Structure 1
Amino acid sequence: MKLRKVSAAAAAALVLSLTATACGGDDGDNDSGSGSGTGGGETIKIGIKYDQPGLGLKEPGGKFSGFDVDVATYVAKELGYEPDQIEFVETKSADRENALARGDVKFIAATYSITDERKQKVDFAGPYLLAHQDLLIKTDSDITKGTDLNGKKLCSVTGSTSAQNVQKEIAPKAQLQEYSSYSECIANLQSGAVDAVTTDDSILAGFAAQEQYKGQFKLAGLKLSNENYGIGVKKGDTATVDKINAALEKMVADKAWDKAVADNFGPANYQNEAAPKIGVIVS
């Protein structure tokens, strides 16, 4: 009699153990977002920038903000993930393709311009924003066209081709000033050490929209290039691309896209292009 009771208890324990294993044994396998997001506790990892105000910024308190963050959060919601199920992962430009190939993140929304070269390595959803290379200048600046930069000090980050393109194609007498970050360029623009800063207008607008700079800067509106921002997905994952494209179309239709633009770029008087059509690349 006693032996039968012990056997029954052992059997019950075995059943409970097997049940727990079946239900929760692979919690760690879905971190990049392979699950539906509705199973309780599952997370999705999304690559963003941590250092671009207005686009992708990790604030001192740990909160994330910016247009790319808003787009990524909306898309994740449509994929079945609540905000508290999102893990934002810093994804620097040089490591974006590798992060997707390794499965470190499910997708990347990080000022990721769609190019033919990149499409050999990753798939893209979108585009979700059409940006342009532009100039950021002081609100009282007398720079109204590209040639006005001749004799002026033009700032960009070290290794960027943006300022070099301006000097080569528009203002050969522009004096290039290079710093390690756009934050340094903006600080030098504020102090008067440089006359203009150049990179994508969305990035410039994000910096100008910061509280400490509101009202001090404006975009020149020169549209020196076209940058089609897309959401990067692991090569071959067409199912995720299709789901993200559907989410982006919904975001535009319900005006959440317009709100995200106004919230993140509005203070810089950013004259954004209309939301681009999915799959349409402006060259």
Structure 2
Amino acid sequence: MTTVLGRLLAALPLVLALGGCAAAASTASVTRQDTVVLGVKADQPGLAERASGGYRGFEVDFGTEVARRIGAKRVEYRTVTSEDRERLLNGHRVDLVLASYSITPERAAQVTFGGPYTTAHQRIMVRAGERGVGGVRDLAGRRLCEASGSVSTARIVQGLGIRPTLVPAASYSDCYAKLRSGEVDAVSTGDLVLAGFARRGGVRLVGDAFTDEPYGVGMRKGDLDGCEAVNKAITVMYQDGTAGRLLHRWFEGAGLRPVAEVPEFHGCS
């Protein structure tokens, strides 16, 4: 029995060491990965959409450039939604997320954010012939689309105390379809999201912007090395003109004037 106990005690440090290795591997920084999986939306024109078997848009191009600048030799892509971004990040299905991912305290408790890489401003989108909605206060009593997993409607209802009738939808692409068909009266979220749909026609943006939405690069919680590297990459991309060129490429003619200056970072935590 003594011999058996001695063997168990002798093996214990090895077991603990193996456990430590597993923990370290599961929290490895994105900067130490040769292949980085980038999570992007598949149905937000201008920002990120999937077409002809590939992904295209500002966030696709920007995220690819960030991944390469932090050391990735290969970049792969996976569709994320507003509802599953945290789950896919923490489940190691994606490594970076650029998906109109507004930085909020609630989200920052679950993931680490780099950036922001740009700041959107919440506005309202209505059908082209709509004249009854000219600003956010006009949404009271109107049918407002609520995309699953988004915080935009909460800013109106809870933040501003306005009471529209919320109509649920799977995504902002679904909201756009409901708006065109007359199922809802308005859609409200970041102007960079809305501008892509507005370019498709049949809808228009109205009213002044009433929030700032800092779009962050999502990473697994605690990857501070990755966050610092991402922030450095974003800074250099603005300094060398890469960010400005991408903003111009994807939003020229959309009625927006994105700021081509380094955003104020929120800090890594």
Matched, 1:252 2:238: yes
List runs of 5+ in structure 1 lacking aligned partners. 1-29, 38-42
User: Counterpart in 1 of 2:117?
Assistant: 128
CA deviation digits over 1:130-155, x for unaligned, max 9?
Answer: 12222012445433322334564433
Comparing 184-193 and 121-130, the one that deviates more: 184-193
Regions of 4+ moved over 6 Å: none
Match of 2:79 in 1: 90
Q: Does 1:195 align with 2:201?
A: no
CA distance in 2, matches of 1:93, 1:158: 7
d(CA) in 2 for partners of 1:49, 1:104: 14
Partner of 2:88: 99
Per-residue CA distance 1:207-254 (angstroms, 9 max, x = gap) = 223xxx24x433225323222111122233222222211111111122
Q: Supply the distance in 1 between the matched residues of 2:87 and 2:140 (Cα, whole angstroms).
A: 40
Aligned to 2:60, which of 55, 59, 69?
69
TM-score normalised by structure 2 residue count: 0.73
Question: How far apart in 2 are the matches of 1:159 and 1:34?
Answer: 30
Aligned-residue CA RMSD in angstroms? 3.0
Shift of 1:72: 0.6
Q: For this pair of structures, how many residues does the alignment match? A: 237
SS of 1:132's equivalent in the other structure is strand
Equivalence for 2:225:
239
* Amino acid across the alignment from 2:55: F
Partner residue, 1:180: 170
Contact 1:146/1:170, CA 8 A, preserved across alignment: no
Q: Classify 1:233/1:171 alpha carbon distance in 2 versus 1 (closer, same or farther; 3 Å).
A: closer
Give, as a single letter, the amino acid of the residue that structure 2 aligns with 1:257. A
8 Å CA contact retained: 1:219, 1:270: no
Cα deviation per residue 1:184-218 (whole Å; 9 max; x = unaligned)? 33234334554321122222122223xxx24x433
Instruction: Indicate conservation of the 8 Å contact 2:45/2:196, yes or no.
Output: yes
Equivalent residue number for residue 99 of structure 2: 110
Aligned sequence identity (%): 35
Structure 2: state its 5+ residue gaps.
1-27
What SS does the corresponding residue of 1:224 show, helix, strand or coil?
coil
Match of 1:47 in 2: 39
Instruction: Tell me the residue number matched to 2:11.
Output: none
Q: Say if 1:138 and 1:189, in contact at 8 Å, map to a contact too.
A: yes
